[in-house]
A = this chain, B = another copy of it.
Amino acid sequence: MAKTKVAIVGASGYAGSELTRLLLSHPAVELVRVTSKSQAGRMVTEVFPHLSGLTELVFQPFDAKKVKEAAEVIFTALPHGRSMVNVPQLYDKEHKVIDLSGDFRLTPELYQAWYKREHIEPDLIEEAVYGLTELARREVSSAGLVANPGCYATCVTLAVAPFISSMVIERDIIADAISGVSGAGRPPTDRNQYCQVEGNVMAYKAGGTHQHIPEIEQSCYGLCQMPVSVSFTPHLGPFPRGILSTSYAKLKEKLSGAELHEMLAAFYQDAPFVTVLPLEDHPQVKLVHGTNFAHLAVALDERSNLLVMMSAIDNLGKGAAGQAIQNMNLMLGLEETAGLLQGAVFP
């Protein structure tokens, strides 16, 4: 069977690097073109020596026409604000686009409120499917343009979805999450340098200002058709990859831990990338390192009648490149798991 040709626009960041790694070993697609403004002209393996021996590709400058000539499916891994400029040049009836930026995830109003800039392609947002795969398998399958979810949003939403959906919890969620350093991107800064991060942990954007909040609230609204308020605090931890989230909501009725666990397991029984851990177990980011898996668990704080919802993903895997490929698989009518069934590299 002929392999589908795919391209990555903006391939020299961490998400682009992970897309490259995964697409190079995908059995049903061929990666034919990668573009990068900053690295154009350099060998991919020169910029990403961890892929040495696996590809002869060279980074190209962005040229929408050439990308569209070369590929049928295009991943855009561009900075927020840049995607809404480039995606309209790429997306059409013959080309499917999976966008990893925040540009097509929110309504124009929410986008302006959280990203502090006006959206220049509000109509295209309407066409985009928000690709949190487990919650939108059908819509993604028939989509031409997918807005791939944010990493924190994926992690938190997967954990709370079964309980918002069944409306057993109050619609006030407190979500605490910690991400590895790759979440902050590839350019060196004061904040991501080794001597600053090592041995350290800190919150940032405390007070509910992170731009993934409206994604979670929007998904929750979709699940229960009522507004849900999320108070979210991200943290930065001393590890390269992974997000762990611990979320809290009051239970509306008395339920046992076993019942809650059962509810979680049932919700994801057909999801090949979601592992529901036994009651009393806790997700660990290291166990999903480099994969598209999500590990979920619940605990019940009976003294406070509070449900604790926990989840772990790889921010570059299920939180970015992995989920993008999972979405591509559905869009192309492939097995949902094609090219993604690797275990974590442990230890």
Hey, which bits of chain A sit against chain B, CB under 8 A? 14, 17, 20-21, 24-25, 48-54, 172, 174, 176, 178, 180-182, 186, 188-190, 192-204, 206-208, 229, 231, 233, 235, 237-242, 244, 246, 248, 257, 272-273, 275, 277, 282-290, 293, 295, 297, 299-304, 306, 308, 310, 312, 341-347
Contact = CB atoms under 8 A, between A and B. Distances in A.
Given A53-B275, A285-B199, A303-B231, A17 B192 contact: no
A178 B283 CA distance: 14
Given A199-B240, A240-B194, A206 B246 contact: yes
A178 B201 contact: yes
A53 B272 CA distance: 7
Nearest to A200: B286
A240 B54 contact: no
Contact of A52 (B201, B203, B295): B295
A302 B209 CA distance: 10
A287 B206 contact: no
B289 A199 contact: yes
A343 B24 contact: yes
Nearest to A55: B343
Contact of A241 (B20, B202, B347): B347
Given A195-B240, A199-B242, A302 B53 contact: no
B201 A347 contact: no
A195 B182 contact: yes
A22 to B, nearest CB: 9
28 contacts: A17-B346, A21-B346, A24-B343, A48-B343, A48-B346, A50-B289, A50-B343, A50-B345, A52-B293, A52-B295, A53-B275, A54-B343, A174-B174, A174-B306, A182-B195, A189-B193, A194-B198, A199-B240, A199-B241, A202-B283, A203-B282, A207-B301, A207-B302, A208-B302, A231-B248, A235-B244, A237-B238, A290-B345
Q: Kindly report how many copies of this chain are found in the complex they form together.
A: 4
B53 A273 contact: yes
A85 to B, nearest CB: 27
Contacts of A195: 14, 181-182, 186, 192, 240, 347
Contacts of A190: 188
Given A231-B301, A239-B201, A207 B14 contact: no
Nearest 9 pairs of A and B residues by beta carbon: A195-B347, A207-B299, A50-B344, A200-B286, A208-B301, A206-B299, A290-B345, A50-B346, A188-B188
B201 A237 contact: yes
A172 B203 contact: no
Contacts of A193: 188-189, 192-194
B343 A229 contact: no
Contact of A203 (B207, B306, B310): B310
B306 A239 contact: no
A114 to B, nearest CB: 11
| Most chain B CB inside 10 Å of its own CB: which residue of A208, A308, A347 | A347
B244 A172 contact: no
